[in-house]
Structure 1
């Protein structure tokens, strides 16, 4: 029976770009570019005839076609004022079109046993979804270069989003940035090859992430008589959401400052950045009572800063060894980011972002706290740390909901080592994240089913528990073997039992390379060629999560912090051939 399960998927992808450049005047250049990224995807999953839980079989399939096309026209004009001031002016327009068309196929009961085809199902449904979005943009910028010492860049951009209503779909956002080459302006000690300082301020904007969230859509619902219509659910989570024709674009404002140093004949480098980013009028699915027939309402948050991200980034580069044909270079980057919820909807201090299966844990945004905080319960303890039991039920008392920790790691790092000897190269990358928490839904189910080692105590002679009752008196009880399963099953309501530190360090990538001596091949137009062996996701060097990969995720959205019986990252091996003409 196990060999009759089927799961197949095929993906074909095409990425292409074409450009044309026309020099109108010596200082004026026009460029036109068209690029496209498209793919087709076919997936099928078959539960065969004869399984205990689906005796007559089940079929699930997906046929998808997606394409993103960008058409862009730009003009560049270069000039100068005197000998010292150079000016570069850029202007242009861009049109982005995205189409995602897919057909979801579901059905049960194969009419002819063991013939696994969608056409062989007694009951089936085919639900098409068509998502089309367009973003039109105009943009421009001016760059100033004074003596190759002081650089100033000013830009502006206007976007119009098809996912928003007329009158609300346009937004303008500017930016300004400057840098100064200090090492060329003043005499620095000889160890410095480059000293550069920089600062910038920028706004960016965005529309609704999905089409058709400004007006309700309706779908035909099969019935025994006249077909009915119902509100079309969200294609991402199959929930009904209240749409909002008054949605506005959101904006994100960032300012940053930093410096770059190169020293010891470029053997040592330091790049430091401090940034502050605030988002306002963010578009958010606010939870509503399901008795309304909906699970959420699409709204803009308050028209003031909603979320702040603030942090630092540091990049250290060095060449510890460089002797003859051998060189060893090191690059280490570390970043720290702290976020804070500044405001939500008027009159609200807490918004639920997501919940786990069974509502055993939540992700909440709370004003004044970090974004995407994990929230749940625990076994109630007294001042001495003793577990408080309900003497009537014999179960630990469940605490009120409280914060369990950050779901987003504040610390990230990466370490790359590269070794080169003549035409041979070897490099490896270590990376990691630190400081976040993960709630494991897998461990909840494994505990309820008695699959974890933590459920072994008590299987022979019963489980004796100690603590205090709700009146503060000492409490001792023995759970008989026959009642162990419901006792451990009740652990699902204590969120902190399944909470882990999500920190990890991984050997992310290893590359062996060889640079082919193109001059010996006798091909004059061949500039360079190399062949590489690449391996990714090789080892987990450190983790606190013993039963799952800390990068396993409940979803690919912002709702991180839940692990839900996902597959670990796939280890991959490949050969790359790079040729340059």
Structure 2
């Protein structure tokens, strides 16, 4: 019994002492992390036990708490984006407050450059701009290309249309190819893998598929020097997109949803006084509004306002990220649905991004990512707004069916008048849809091996696969033509695969302790294959079945394109005491689209920069000053299958094959662009004020031109090398932290750019090069005219004499054309003494803006933020076809004032022998 009592006492003592011992071994450390400059707490700063995966993050008050029990001589690592890391030995401390220093912008700003290589911005000798994820999210643009509007100097973004899911085109420092056969858009690179940026069925590119909320940063490489390592694909510059990754020691689960509504802001003014008819007479079967005045008894319909609706957009994003010092994972999914302001417009997109990296050991690391995107775009038939704007006021456009369900025509239909009968926009949106289905997959894997602490090998393999199905339906009873009335369907099935394999070695060392050397050598292989099947059918058998097999006359065409590009490249950079920076780059490409005699071409670049601030005495005014300059060459190859004539099926009895439009040219050579630029980067008052200025000059020669030739030759288009283009311009960037304290911050960012292009040379038998062979209004079209800006408008113009006076005919109407002159500049006369007139089209205007201006303001008050931006385009000519068509149909708003008024054109009448008299 006594033994039992002693045993119980012993157990009680153990139970009492063990917790005390355990408690005595527990070592908790807490504290607050703040900004060393302004004392503000830092939310979400990472606090890690160095050498382990254990860590935490600071809360909304900058407070953290971490258990370091069981770790021998623990050291805490404090880190946050934009700040220098801080290490603190724990020892026997239980409270450690930390002040993090902001990274010195001019010394530590790191950007992603060509081939995914990270470089300090101070070491770069060319213009480069970066947009961070916060700025992308603030733009609220689902298309990443549109989110660059107004943010990057020298970048022009143009929407292909205002419909949901529409893609956009982007130009950096203007276009440097005259022919649309050669792409003028920059190369897009996602996580180190170049993707396909060729035009899709809606005229833009597939960069629009990338979810903007998954993007960490976008870097724009503007000139050939910046993008030289990518080769000919980046002759127009490059846009480097880096997606988000998991962060070490932090697990985040983010869910966000957004809702937006949009309405038409401004519409063309319409006349409100006249009804259907012609020459002032009411005609209920007229498609024009040149009838009599409306009476108080006539009903006026707001056809435009009723047709347009409020567009709605919803988006949902879910992401999970986690990581340690050895591995990280990022997984995100997104869903977007959008309805346009036009009936029948819908766009949906699903996305899934899987991304991870791991460090297998001290020398080997791996990265993988897979981005899966699926989208569907439904839109109405082309040209639907033309009829909306021109629909007569006294006709209710929303009534497009009779009570018995049959179609209601504006003009009662009769055999053969389908071409002159305007299609009801409601009926067209409902019955004539265009559907796009796209599956887009981006996959990348890379492995890097640190051979030594100075030498590293990197291999990267990626694929870009797009499958797109397009279907356009023209239902039976459609207006426009007999074929349209009978119904027709067009289906396009396109698949495209682009595989990119890159192997490179990087080497970094120091020479004599003063000269830093960074070298890179590598090889990459690009392989592309595209397949396109087009099936066209007309004349429905069953009017209620929208299936290609339901049509009587069916034709099918298939296209297969293949291209391979092999490149070898090298880059070496020197810096002397981080004061003088010298860069040399060389690349040689071998392209399968050029003949063997011309398929190998080499292009170099050289750049030099000097950090003047290191040579100046330290003061509180100039915190950084750098001068930079560079020169580069880059090439462009030809489109596939232009070396020999290609056969296509002949749709005649007996079948067979014909040559297609293009005559082969076995002597094609690459286009070449030579560029030089100079610039400066200045920062004042500890980086609060920043000025960046760049001047550039580019000349592109040996243009790959597609020109019409006589059909008697057996072909229609000849492809050959000729012509040159010049682009020169300036870019100015200004950033200012206007106000900065603990509670309120205001930062202004602005940029101004101007690009001046000129078509310097064309073949001797050509004076202009049309972008399209079809004219608009039979008067004007986008074109390139010798001696004028590349993005020109050509067309006919009113005839004027040497005094600039308008010349009218004997009825008082303006004449069209220009007076002919001989080689000496003298006017040419006919036998009646009248000057001969050349009615050929001439240069009318420039489609490119004179200036691009972007102004962004970011304000933050105690965590409440406001951001607004102005995207300004000054100058540039626009051909307003909407107004032209509305004037021709009598619906334009200006006609209310000028209708039924006599007008005499102020001008002169030619009397002969160079004499004129007032009209």
Regarding TM over 0.5, the answer is yes
Aligned to 2:628: 198
Counterpart of 1:111 in structure 2 is 541
**Which structure ranks higher in relative contact order (CA pairs < 8 Å, sequence separation ≥ 6)?**
2
Q: Work out whether residues 646 and 662 of structure 2, in 8 Å CA contact, stay in contact via their aligned partners in 1.
A: no
TM-aligned CA distance change 1:7 to 1:363, over 3 Å:
closer
Segment drifting more, 426-435 vs 101-110:
426-435
Which of these residues, 514, 527, 531, is aligned with residue 97 of structure 1?
A: 527
Q: Distance in 1 between matches of 2:570 and 2:485?
A: 63
Shift of 1:275: 0.9
Relative to 1, partners in 2 of residues 1:469 and 1:58: Cα closer, same or farther, differing over 3 Å?
A: same
Corresponding position: 1:5 with 2:458: no
- Residue equivalent to 1:540: none
1:212 to 622, 641, 644: 641
* Matched residue, 2:109: none
The equivalent residue for 1:330 is 748
- TM-score, with structure 1 as normaliser: 0.74
Q: Is the alpha carbon distance of 1:447 and 1:42 closer, same or farther for their aligned partners in structure 2, counting shifts above 3 Å? A: same
**1:347-380 superposed Cα distances (whole Å, 9 cap, x missing partner):** 3572323352464124554554333432222233
Aligned to 1:128: 558
What is the aligned-residue RMSD (CA, Å)? 2.5
Residue 428 of structure 1 corresponds to 868
Alignment check: 8 A CA contact 2:557 2:649 kept: no
Distance 2:504 2:512 in 1: 26
Bigger shift: 360-369 or 324-333?
Answer: 360-369
Paired residue for 1:43?
470
Aligned with 1:439: secondary structure? coil
The match for 2:499 among 69, 90, 95 is 69
Structure 2 counterpart of 1:259: 680
Q: Structure 1 stretch 406-415 or stretch 273-282: which is displaced more?
A: 406-415
Q: Is the 8 A contact 1:256 1:274 kept in 2?
A: yes
- Give CA deviations for 1:100-147 in whole Å, capped at 9, x if unaligned: 222222211211121111111111122222222111100001111211
- Shift of the 464–420 alpha-carbon distance from structure 1 to 2, 3 Å rule, reads closer
Does 1:227 find its partner at 2:655? yes
* 1:377 counterpart = 2:796: yes
Residue 245 of structure 1, CA deviation: 1.0
CA-CA distance at 1:90 after TM superposition: 0.5
Structure 1 residue aligned with 2:363: none
Contact 1:350 1:364 (8 Å CA) reproduced: no
| Deviation at residue 473 of structure 1 after TM alignment | 5.2
Moved more, 40-49 or 436-445: 436-445
Instruction: Report the alpha carbon displacement of residue 391 of structure 1 after superposing the two structures with TM.
Output: 2.7
What SS is found at the alignment partner of 1:133?
strand
CA distance in 1: counterparts of 2:453 and 2:435, whole angstroms: 56
Residue by residue over 1:259-293, the C-alpha shift from the partner in whole angstroms, topping out at 9 and shown as x without a partner, is: 11111121110011111111121211134345545
Structure 2 stretches lacking a partner, 5+ long = 1-406, 408-426, 819-840
**Pair 1:402–1:270, CA change in 2 (3 A):** same
Q: State the partner residue of 2:457.
A: 30
8 Å contact 1:457–1:463 — kept in the other structure? no
2:277 — aligned with what? none
Contact 1:197 1:260 in 2 (8 A): yes
User: Whole-Å Cα distance in 1 between the matches of residues 878 and 597 of structure 2?
Assistant: 42
Pick one of 297, 312, 316 that aligns with 2:718.
297
- Assess, with a 3 A threshold, how the Cα gap between structure 1 residues 290 and 458 changes in structure 2: closer, same or farther: farther
- Corresponding residue SS for 1:25: coil
The alignment status of 1:415 with 2:855, answered yes or no, reads yes
**2:659 and 2:715 in contact (8 A); partners too:** no
Q: Structure 1 stretches of 5 or more lacking a match?
A: 233-239, 476-581
* Structure (1 or 2) with the greater strand fraction: 1
Inter-CA distance 295–425: structure 2 relative to 1 (3 Å threshold): farther
- Residue 584 of structure 2 corresponds to 154
Q: 1:253 to 1:385 in 2, by over 3 A?
A: closer
Deviations 1:10-53 (A, max 9, x none): 22222222110112223211000012222222221222223344
Alpha-carbon distance between aligned partners in 2 of 1:30 and 1:75, rounded to the nearest angstrom: 5
Secondary structure of the residue aligned to 1:446 is helix
Q: Give the distance between the partners of 2:902 and 2:535, measured in 1 at CA.
A: 48
- What is residue 770 of structure 2 aligned with on the other side? 353
Question: Aligned in 2, Cα 1:201/1:373: closer, same or farther, shift over 3 Å?
Answer: same
- Secondary structure of residue in 1 paired with 2:598: coil
Q: Residue 222 and residue 19 in structure 1: after superposition, are their counterparts in 2 closer, same or farther (change >3 A)? A: same
Check the 8 A contact 1:178/1:199 in 2, yes or no: yes
In structure 2, what is the equivalent of residue 84 of structure 1?
Answer: 514
Who is 1:246 aligned against? 667
Q: Any idea what the Cα deviations from partners look like across 1:148-205, whole Å, max 9, x if unmatched?
A: 1111111100011111111111110011111111111221542111111111111111
Verify the 8 A CA contact 1:349 1:366 in the aligned structure 2. Answer: no
Matches for 1:174-193 after TM superposition, within 5 Å: 174-187=604-617, 189-193=619-623
Partner in structure 1 of residue 295 of structure 2 = none
> Helix, strand or coil for the counterpart of 2:614?
helix
Q: Is the Cα–Cα contact under 8 Å of residues 175 and 200 in structure 1 kept in the other structure?
A: yes
What's the secondary structure of 1:447's corresponding residue? helix
| 1:172 correspondence with 2:602 | yes
8 Å CA contact retained: 1:287, 1:351 = no
Distance verdict in 2 for CA 1:78–1:385, change over 3 Å = closer
Number of positions where the alignment pairs a residue of Structure 1 with one of Structure 2 = 460
SS in 2 for 1:114: coil
Question: Secondary structure, in 3 states, of the residue corresponding to 1:17?
Answer: strand
CA distance in structure 2 between the partners assigned to 1:273 and 1:458 by the alignment: 50
Separation (CA, whole Å) in 1 of partners of 2:528 and 2:534: 19
Change in Cα spacing, 1:360 to 1:247, as seen in structure 2 (3 Å) is same
Q: Any idea what SS the aligned residue of 1:427 has?
A: strand
- 2:895 and 2:557 map into 1 onto residues whose CA distance is 43
CA distance in 2, matches of 1:146, 1:158: 28
